[in-house]
Structure formats: C-alpha cells, structure tokens
Amino acid sequence: MASMEADGPQAPYDPWWAVRRRISAAVAAAGVDPEIERLLLVPERVLEVAVPVRMDDGHVEVFSGWRVHHNVARGPAKGGIRFHPALSAGEVTALAADMTLKTAVVDIPFGGGKGGVACEPGRLSISELERLTRRYTVAIASLLGPDQDVPAPDVNTDERVMAWLLDTMDMLQGRSVPGVVTGKPLSVGGMPMHAGATSSGVVRCVRAVFAATGRPLVGARAVVQGFGKVGGPLAFLLQSAGMRVVAVADVAGAVWNPGGLDVSALAEHARSSGSVAGFVGGTPIASTDLWAVEAELVVPAALEGAIDVDAARRMTASVVVEAANGPMTPAADEVLDRRGVVVVPDILANAGGVTASYFEWAQGRQGYAWDEEMVADRLARTMDRAFGAVWARAQALGVSLRDAAGVVAVERIAAAITARGLFP
Ligand code: GLU
C-alpha cells in the first residue's frame, strides 16, 4: 500500500474510500483472484428511500434512508441500522462492507449489510421515532427477511427500535417472523446478553492481545472514547478485569483521572446529566487530548475516523482495540504501524455483537430459547477462535493484525464466491 502524507484526498474523511483501500490491501496480501477485488469494491445493492414522517406538530418532514447489501456470497445480508444526522450513502456502504468482512472473520453464515436514516433521534419524540422507524421499515421491507437481510441495532438504535421493526414486518407479512431482525427485546424473542455482547467481545480481545504480547492486564491503564451502548458497558468490564480506566470521552466532553475513574460514579453522572462532562471524580480535558493521555490501552468506541494522523502521533498507548467501526483513518493506521503499536481491528474486535445476533437469528429459526450460559460460552469461544486465527496469520505472514484479519476474511469470502461461480 502506498504511503500517504495525510488522510487522503477526501475532505471530510470518507469511510467508503478507506474500506476500499483496506479491501484492496487484503486481496493483495491474500493473493486471491483480482476479479474478487472488483466484486468487493462495489456494493451489490443500494436502496435509497424517502421517509416522510408526520411530526407531532402536524407538519411533515421527509428524511433520507438507505439499506445497502455489500456482498451476500456467504449468506443473508447482516448489519445494523443507524440513525445519525450526518449519515450518507457512502458511509452506509462502508459500514456494510465492514460487515461482509466481520461476519467472515468470525465465520458466521452471513454477508454484509447496513442501513439507516439521516436524522437526529435526540430531537424526535418517542412517537415521531416510532413513525420514522415503521415508515423506514416499510420502505426497505422488500430487501428484508431471515433468508435475505437481517437488521440489528447500531448507533442511536436499540431494542425498542428493533421491536417496532419486527412488529412492522409481522404486520406486513401477517405472521410472526422472529428471524427478520436481531437485538430484539427478550419479550419478543431476543437473546440474553445481546446488548452487552459487543463490549464482552472487545474485552475478550483485550485479554487475548495482552496475553499474546506478554503484557500484564491488571493495573494497566485504559482510555475509552465513547460512553454509550458499547463504551459504557466496556468501561465497566475493563475495570472488572483489573484495568484502570483513566480517561473517558463522549460527544460533550472528556474526563481524566490518572489514578483511575470510578466508572460506576461516572455512569451515574452520565445518566443524570446526559454526558461524562462535568464529572467531579476527574479533571476535564479537551476531547482532542484524550489520545495523548498516558495509558497502555486505547479503545475507540464511537464513530468512524476518530483517530487521525495527529491523534496517532500523540498516542502513548501501545495497544489499540477498535470497538467502533472504522475508527482509524488509513494514514493513522500507518503511523501506528510504524511505531509498533498493536491494533486489534474493528472487524475482529467488535464482532461480538453480530455473533450474538447470529445466535438470536438461529434461536428464532429453531424456535428454541438459548440460555445465558450457552450464549456466554459460545460467544467466548467464537471470539477466541477468531482472534487465534487472525493472530496466527499475522505471525505467519509478518503483517499487522488488521492486514491478517483482512486476509482471513477475504479468503473466506473468495471461497464462497468461487464455489458459487458467476450467474448466469
Ligand atoms: N451494529 C453492530 C455491528 O456493527 C451489530 C450488527 C448486527 O448484529 O447485525 O457490528
């Protein structure tokens, strides 16, 4: 891969451009047929929809929504639904491609999909959010189904949104279709531990990478960017594992305590005030200074492109585990690689969520309820197996964990594409 002076020609940061670069690098390193690369550099299907919603005051707003299937050679499209004001077709496509790679890394029988609506959910009332979700579901319904495309939660969506999506699909089809969506509430066929599965998988990778590189975990310092659905539980789990969480940031600010933040007190503060900012158990710092905080581990758990070249240059940590999707620009990646920082990539590190989704999908199709023990055990085994495969490949090829994960994924996707042949 040619070196880059900066974060690429695009401004602002373009995640689809970044994923395409990573796919090309993985194809080259895996030595698979370049025709596979041509297939993976374009999404199979992109649906853009208008989502008109009657607002509570009576006027109609029209939102834009998307559902993208990047590649479905390995199975039905799988991936979350994101509600975010800055969402675009390119971002959704990048996230769908990440899902193609991620489902292959953990070797679950899915392809990659993603969807979402450009909206600011915090400004919508509950009933507006419900109408938006249901109208969006109807607009993309032709793509959805247990054998076609199975959505799940992502940024700013949760089990309540998934329940509305499920109910809308059931209404449209006149029957119960539990396998059409994952991340549902337990009361309608959800999976125990689904909500914390991404964070559990991240911590599993933290343990594995510290063990594999001979770093002591207990007492090590961690920095976490994001304190939402993933970052919140993650900070708790890191603390329970014996680490010191020394800095946490969310959209409104960042707090630092070199002795370790009291994560329970921080969570209580964030619950009552809406943000980690203003927490008295730490010193406020600028969000951009988060990356420079002295620590052994950094976990970005927010949005794409968070770690740029500047952040990478200032980082003191020697391990990064990517809980968010695409949190690092390719140029930042190069900087960290040169400095010998070990990066556990998103398509491995945050795959616990989609793995739990796989179990939920299987449960829905089996009509047999899984218990917590079975979920925890299989989730841990799946993550450990994936980490082991990626680690071994990185050692064998002498490449980064990101390149190795890309190689493992692309080989599996290429095998499926080759086995199918080209229709007609
Ligand atoms: N949104 C999560 C992810 O990016 C979960 C996707 C899923 O379970 O389908 O991996």
pLDDT in tens, 76-130: 999 999 999 999 999 999 999 999 999 999 999 999 999 999 999 999 999 999 9
Candidate from 198, 304, 322, 347 with most ligand 1 atoms within 8 A of CB, to mutate: 198
Nearest to 7 by CA among 334, 321, 251, 402: 334
How many alpha carbons lie under 13 Å from residue 110 in its C-beta half-sphere? 34
Please give the distance, rounded to the nearest whole angstrom, from the Cα atom of residue 40 to the centre of ligand 1.
19
Q: What's the confidence (pLDDT) of residue 367?
A: 94
Q: For the chain, how many residues are written?
A: 424
Q: How far apart are CA 288 and CA 310, in angstroms?
A: 9
Q: What's the confidence (pLDDT) of residue 96?
A: 98
Q: What percent of the chain has pLDDT over 90?
A: 96
Residue tagged 């639904």 (tokens):
81
Please give the distance, rounded to the nearest whole angstrom, from the Cα atom of residue 83 to the centre of ligand 1.
14
Please give the distance, rounded to the nearest whole angstrom, from the Cα atom of residue 184 to the centre of ligand 1.
13
Nearest to 69 by CA among 51, 43, 41: 43
Q: Record the pTM.
A: 0.95
Catalytic annotation on 229? Answer: no
Please give the distance, rounded to the nearest whole angstrom, from the Cα atom of residue 402 to the centre of ligand 1.
19
Enter the DSSP assignment of 402: H
Nearest to 161 by CA among 197, 135, 198: 135
Catalytic one of 78, 102, 114, 184 = 114
Span 316-339, pLDDT tens digits: 999 999 999 999 999 999 999 999
Q: Which atom of ligand 1 is nearest to the CA of 183?
A: 8
* H helical segments located in 213-262: 231-240
Burial of 395 (0-12, 13-18, 19+ CB in 10 A): exposed
The residue whose C-alpha atom lies closest to atom 8 belonging to ligand 1 is 354
Q: Which atom of ligand 1 is nearest to the CA of 95?
A: 4
Enter the DSSP assignment of 242: T
How many alpha carbons lie under 13 Å from residue 195 in its C-beta half-sphere? 14
Span 355-386, pLDDT tens digits: 999 999 999 999 999 999 999 999 999 999 99
Please give the distance, rounded to the nearest whole angstrom, from the Cα atom of residue 197 to the centre of ligand 1.
10
Q: How far apart are CA 310 and CA 314, in angstroms?
A: 6
Mean confidence (pLDDT) of the chain: 95
Which domains does the chain show, CATH number per domain?
A: 44-178 (3.40.50.10860), 197-349 (3.40.50.720)
How many alpha carbons lie under 13 Å from residue 420 in its C-beta half-sphere? 15
Q: Which atom of ligand 1 is nearest to the CA of 98?
A: 4
Please give all residues whose beta carbon lies within 6 A of any atom in ligand 1, as ranges: 78-80, 152, 154, 182, 325, 350, 353-354, 357
Q: What share of the chain is helix, strand, coil (3-state, %, to 5)?
A: 50, 15, 35
